[in-house]
Amino acid sequence: MAMTAPTANELKLDEPAGERAVFIDKDGTLIDDVPYNVDPLLVSLTLGAGPALALLNAVGFRLVVVSNQPGIAYGRFGPSALGNVEERIQELLAPYGVAIEGFYYCPHARFEGCGCRKPSPGLIRAAALERGIDVAASWLVGDILDDVEAGRRAGCRTALIANGNETEWFFSDLRMPTIVADSLSRAARAIVSTRHTAADTPGSRRHAGALVGRR
Ligand SMILES: [Mg+2]
Ligand SMILES: [Zn+2]
């Protein structure tokens, strides 16, 4: 689907901007997944990611990356290696007039049982606290259900990009996304079209999984 400018009616600007964010998974959501990659030359945005982030930014969503990086625990690369990847991502987003305001990583392996590895909500909570972000007005976008669960545990609405990266489909109440979309573009359009009211907060009965652009 081509990205077209949303109409004024689509942009529900009735809630305060500035404190809401979209927390974005990195690998497989913002950039194409190359396992354990820290080579900036191998970084590419997923299809439509630039315009999608520009749209979210235009309606007042701040942009924060939250990412599991167990490669650090496994000794595949040091924490500083991710700086080059961040720089490349910002470079690729610059033509769209957007920037990621913060990158938050879990450097642990699953067996370490930390509180920051998604599906735990630690990364989102830390970012929200540090940056004054209202999680209840925010979204988490990711390509697997662990992302969704982290977002819901933190109190965000959630969008699952059903691009084939989730393979286990282990569902529970906490793993039900607010919306399912087949691309970041469609997820972004659905997010900006969602009227945010108190009744729609995660956990309420109206927090139903609407399907957007599902194949
Ligand atoms: Mg991912
Ligand atoms: Zn961790």
| Sequence ranges of the domains in the chain | 21-211
The Cα–Cα gap between 67 and 5 comes to: 29
For residues 176 and 153, give the distance between their C-alpha atoms in angstroms, rounded to a whole number.
11
Residue pLDDT tens, the chain, 215 long = 444 555 444 454 555 557 999 999 999 999 999 999 999 999 999 999 999 999 999 999 999 999 999 999 999 999 899 999 999 999 999 999 999 999 999 999 999 999 999 999 999 999 999 999 999 999 999 999 999 999 999 999 999 999 888 888 888 999 999 999 999 999 999 999 987 654 444 444 344 445 554 33
Per the annotation, the verdict on 27 as an active-site residue is yes
pLDDT digits (tens, 9 = 90+) for 84-103: 999 999 999 999 999 999 99
Give per-residue pLDDT as tens, 7-41.
444 454 555 557 999 999 999 999 999 999 999 99
End-to-end CA distance of the chain: 12
Q: What spacing in Å lies between the alpha carbon of 116 and ligand 2's midpoint?
A: 4
Ligand nearest to the CA of 111: 2
- E runs forming strands in 101-168: 102-106, 139-142, 157-161
Q: For this structure, is 182 an active site residue?
A: no
Residues having C-beta closer than 5 Å to ion ligand 1: 25, 27-28, 143
21-211 fold: Rossmann fold (3.40.50)
Whole-structure pTM value: 0.85
